[in-house]
Amino acid sequence: MKSALLELSYLIGSVTFIVGLKMMGNPKSARKGNLLGAAGMTLAILGTIFLFEKKTEDGAVVADHVVPGIIYALIFGAILLGTIVGWLTAKKVQMTKMPELVSMFNGMGGACAALIGLMEYEHNLHHTGALATIIAGMVIGTVSFSGSIIAYLKLNGTMKQPIRLPQYNVINTIVMAGVVLFGAWVVMTAPSMTFLYLLFAVAIVYGILFTVPIGGADMPVVISLLNSFTGLAAAFGGFLYDNKIMLTGGILVGSAGTLLTLVMCKAMNRPLSNVIFGAFGGGDAAAGSSSVSGSIKDINVSDTAVLMNYSKKVVIVPGYGLAVAQAQHVIHELETILEERGVEVKYAIHPVAGRMPGHMNVLLAESNVSYDKLVEMEDINPEFSSTDVVLVVGANDVVNPAAHNDPSSPIYGMPILDVENASHIIVNKRSMNAGYAGIENELFFNPKTSMLFGDAKAVLTKLVAEIKSL
């Protein structure tokens, strides 16, 4: 009876994962989809704790098996501790730090998969199939863990530059081959735990070597790729335990992460191999692009207010600078005021704007911007030619015309937001420093572009007040 109920809880949980993931494909239903998936996971966890039955090797249920009370106390104590830490961390995190939090959480998932391998190894020394599953899950989870920690350090600014060792591609390839061969040897010979810990250490080293050369501009892709690694490691855990919901969740995370990685690579017009081995976006990338010359012109808040107030159509391009300034609420107020005066306002969303997939969507949703106003790149680009004013706030590389005009630029061929086709372009930046990819932006020297310097929140607050006074 317990076994049937447990399988039913796993089935329900799996269905909630699939339906929840589908709902997360639409911003309007994403929150409900997330809650639905969390409810399914809660059901699966409780089912595992209370309905699990110990069985012998031939599948017979051990009728007199009793779980000591101390075990339940430890389990629920760990769950409570993890819930409190996770809840408080997610509740307090600023939107600018969300990519780092996602990377850290993903790393913890990889670490859990690695720990499963370390714990289950000695229990399966004589089962080659199970041993292969354990080693695969442990190695992939470990790479995801150490790689995610490096991604976290890059995103929070601790590691600002990519570390490129001489012939690092050759070194990485040798280490990767060594990990694979070492893992295969462990599966075939089942040596002592000492060698497993050594394999664990080598996998950590490879995860670090895999991530440190990759430049900052490619971090969204790397986060998504490492997320798929964690899902794959969890799926191996599902195979090991014959756990349907663990398998389903791992497959969903792994496949979704892989697809998202490929979509973002397509958005940058670069193959995944180029992202991994190119180390683009670390600050010296501009060395390969031609220098940009010309003059720039400033614009003040008063002139910007007049220009936007008497426009028919305004498109706002949000970027990481908007998140840094925590100006999402002010920009929503600006949008509201303009619409009250008959101006059509939309937001242009680039797939890799910000520091993680969907960063701008989440940022603007926090300030209650209508989902209908968030327009993806493919749909908004044809509208720029009929747009009176484009306001670029904190975005840089995703609006750089060098992607179209400069074959020597590292971003050449990357699809961008074609803001240069608008009648007037206003760019809000703190300074003329290059963007995250370290590349000079041709857009700033366009005759139609005016630079509105200053902190995004302060500037937008003054802009709102100025428009109100008109």
Q: Higher pLDDT residue, 249 or 411?
A: 249
> For residue range 1-20, what is the model confidence (pLDDT) as tens digits?
678 898 899 999 999 999 99
Distance CA 49, CA 68 (A): 12
Q: Using 50, 70 and 90 to split pLDDT, how confident is the model at 125? A: confident
Domain boundaries, the chain: 96-282, 288-469
Task: Classify residue 290 as exposed, middle or buried by CB count within 10 Å of its CB (0-12, 13-18, 19+).
Answer: middle
Q: Would the pLDDT of 438 be above 60?
A: no
Give the Cα separation of 256 and 200 in Å (integer): 26
Instruction: Give the separation between CA 366 and CA 95, rounded to whole angstroms.
Output: 9
Identity of residue 215: G
Pick the closest to residue 332 from 365, 377, 375, 300 (CA basis).
365
Q: What is the pLDDT of residues 143-164, one digit of tens each?
A: 999 999 998 888 777 776 667 7
Instruction: Give the pLDDT band (50/70/90) at residue 288.
Output: very low
CATH of domain 288-469: 3.40.50.1220
For the question of residue 388 being annotated catalytic, the response is: no
* Res. 57: pLDDT tops 70: no
Strand partners, 296: none
- More confident position, 71 or 411: 71
Across the range 96-113, mean pLDDT stands at 87
- Cα–Cα nearest to 314, from 415, 396, 370, 392: 392
pLDDT band for position 403 (50/70/90)?
Answer: confident
Report the mean per-residue pLDDT for the chain: 86
For the segment 74-80, the average pLDDT, to the nearest whole number, is 93
The DSSP bridge partners found for residue 392 are 317, 427
Tokens 């090991």, located at residue? 240
Query: How many Å apart are CA 347 and CA 318, to the nearest integer?
Result: 7
Cα(7)–Cα(23) distance, integer angstroms: 24
* CA angle at 45 for the pair 42 and 48, rounded to the nearest 5°: 150
Residue 101 has pLDDT above 70, yes or no: yes
Rounded CA separation 53/5 (Å): 11
Residue 29's pLDDT is: 84
Catalytic residue among 64, 298, 397, 455: 397
**Is the CA virtual torsion 43, 46, 50, 55 positive or negative?**
positive
Share of the chain above pLDDT 90, in %: 49
CB 445 within 8 A of CB 425: no
Q: Are 360 and 353 in contact (CB under 8 A)?
A: yes
Confidence class for position 222, pLDDT limits 50, 70, 90: confident
What does residue 144 show for φ and ψ, rounded to 5 degrees? -65, -40
Separation CA 209–CA 394 (nearest Å): 31
Burial classification of residue 188, based on how many CB atoms lie within 10 Å of its CB (0-12 exposed, 13-18 middle, 19 or more buried): exposed
Give the DSSP per-residue string, 381-405.
GGGGGG-SEEEEES--GGG-THHHH
289 pLDDT more than 80: no
pTM of the model: 0.79
Sheet of strand 313-318: strand arrangement: 374-376, 344-349, 313-318, 389-393, 424-429, 449-453
